[in-house]
A = this chain, B = another copy of it.
Amino acid sequence: MSREEILFANEAFYQAFADGDAAAMTALWAEEAPIACLHPGWEPLFEREHVIASWRAILEKPPAVRCLAPRVHDHGEVAFVLCWEAVGDQYLLATNIFAREAGRWRMVHHQSGPTNGKPPAAARDDRPRTIN
């Protein structure tokens, strides 16, 4: 059950990202635990207001982003999801960390960075394991 909840939280992140939904993006980040966000090419963001501001800026013109082949590593109250991000014709790799806050999985960390530029094997087989 936990795994599905974590994947759902990860899916909600990419849905808010692709939809340019700043309210949903704001709501899914943790409010109690310290958070951090490492956008590729940006300075790292550690304060909630800076993280949220970065997403508001990005979501003004959201890219066509899809999550591919998410993989959950569940550690009980904390879990991380590793996945590809298809952004236009580029592929990135992301580490998304979630922590339970008041019974709900909320994002506490996001890092996205370069891969070898290739999609996951499943996608190469024309069987993309997208979240949509």
Chain A residues within 8 Å of B, Cβ to Cβ: 33-34, 36, 38, 40-44, 46, 71, 73, 75-78, 80, 82, 93, 95, 97, 99, 108-109, 111-116, 118
Contacts and interface: CB of A to CB of B under 8 A. Distances in A.
14 contacts: A34-B73, A38-B113, A38-B115, A40-B114, A42-B116, A44-B93, A44-B115, A73-B108, A73-B109, A75-B78, A77-B78, A80-B97, A95-B109, A113-B113
A114 B112 CA distance: 9
Q: Is the interface of A mostly helix, strand, loop or mixed?
A: strand
A75 B112 CA distance: 21
Given A36-B73, A78-B75, A41 B95 contact: no
Given A38-B82, A97-B97, A116-B43, A33 B111 contact: no
B33 A75 contact: yes
A41 B109 contact: no
Given A40-B113, A114-B41, A71 B46 contact: yes
A126 to B, nearest CB: 19
A125 to B, nearest CB: 15
A113 B112 CA distance: 8
Contacts of A115: 38, 41-44
A36 B114 CA distance: 15
